[in-house]
Structure 1
Amino acid sequence: MSIDLVPYPADEVETLVAWVAAPHVVRWWKPSWSAPVIDAFRAEDTAPSGIRPWRVDLDGHPIGYVQDYDVAQDDSPWAGVDDVGPGTRGVDLLIGDPGLINRKHGRMIIRTLATRLFTEHGVSRLVSGPHPDNWPAIIAFKRAGFRERGRRQFPEGPAMILTAAKAVWSA
């Protein structure tokens, strides 16, 4: 099995909209996470500054979406979280095909993205904040190499803080 990350094609925005609305995704995914990208693509614009959207392909077939984003922006809910600052990127992901969840693809996607990001100049830490009850996501992040750093209440709800540091990352 091969996981590839492709810059998300703007002309496939309706696929992303369908994935975000899927019952197994809508339970955990906050619409505001992908709304800026969806709105920009529908306006035939590029993704907003600071957000990089990726289509996840499994053996050449689109199966999901992942984005990394700058958490050091002024309005970021990540302000004040320990070790979050310049050089930190946030990570969100979803698997759009319900038949592919709970099959270790999440872990592979996370590792693929983290390995890619840690090769970039200036990226030293990654963070993610799944809902504390979203155990499949939490397990995927932990098995991919992220560490739990407690819980936090964000404006959109509670989050389990998970981080990975470049200094101790093994590809």
Structure 2
Amino acid sequence: MSIDLVAWPAGDVERLEAWVAAPHVARWWRPSSTAAVISALRTGGDMPDWGRPWRIDLDGRAIGFALDYAITRDGDVWQNEEGVGPGTRGIDLLIGEPDAVNRKHGRAAMRALATRLFDGPGVDRLVADPHPDNWPAIIAFKRAGFRERGRRQFPSGPVMVLTAAKAVWKA
């Protein structure tokens, strides 16, 4: 089985809306994470300049969504985190297809996205902030190579901070 990341196709808004509304995703997903992407897809406008949406494919079948973004999108919430600076990108990820959940595809997608970002210019650290009770996501991030940095209270609510550094990343 092979995980691939492809740029989110223009016009494919219904799939993303359905995934975000699915009970297994809606429980944990912050709608603000995808609002600008959904709006751009719905209107045919440009994607936000702070982020890049990705479709997660498993052997050619769309199973999830990922977003890498400039951490400044979240305001100042990351400014006090150790090691976070100009070379830091945030990532959000969801597995939308219910039959693909709990099959290690999220972990594989996280690794694929992290490797892609670290192989590109200017990225030396990644951060993620799932809800602290979303243990499946936290475990997937940790098994993908991210380190747990503890609970925080962000304006969006409670989060578990996880980070990955290019300097120690094993592709």
TM-score, normalised with respect to structure 1: 0.97
Q: Which amino acid aligns with 2:53?
A: P
In the alignment, is the contact (CA less than 8 A) between 1:71 and 1:84 conserved in 2? no
- The aligned residue for residue 86 of structure 1 is 86
Question: What's 1:97 paired with?
Answer: 97
* Alpha-carbon distance between aligned partners in 2 of 1:107 and 1:129, rounded to the nearest angstrom: 15
* 2:143 corresponds to 1:143: yes
Q: Does residue 64 of structure 2 align to residue 57 of structure 1?
A: no
Q: Distance in 2 between matches of 1:6 and 1:74?
A: 24
Give me the CA root mean square deviation. 1.1
Change (3 A) 1:161 1:131: same
Q: Matches of 1:147 and 1:7 in 2, distance apart?
A: 27
Q: Contact 1:4–1:58 (CA<8 Å) still a contact in 2?
A: yes
TM-score after normalising by structure 2:
0.97
Letter in 1 for 2:20: V
**Which AA in structure 2 matches 1:121?**
P
CA deviations 1:74-106 (Å, max 9, x no partner) are: 825323222211000000000011111111111
- Which has the larger displacement, 135-144 or 76-85? 76-85
Segments of 5+ residues of structure 1 without an aligned counterpart are none
Q: Percent identity?
A: 66
Give the letter aligned to residue 8 of structure 2.
Y
Unpaired runs of 5+ residues, structure 2, are none
In structure 2, the partner of 1:128 is 128
2:26 corresponds to? 26
User: 1:17 is paired with a residue of what secondary structure?
Assistant: helix
Take 2:146 and 2:68, find their aligned partners in 1: how far apart are those partners? 15
Count residues in correspondence: 171
Q: Provide, for residues 34-78 of structure 1, a one-character-per-residue CA deviation record: whole Å limited to 9, x for no partner.
A: 001111111211210110000000000000100000113582532
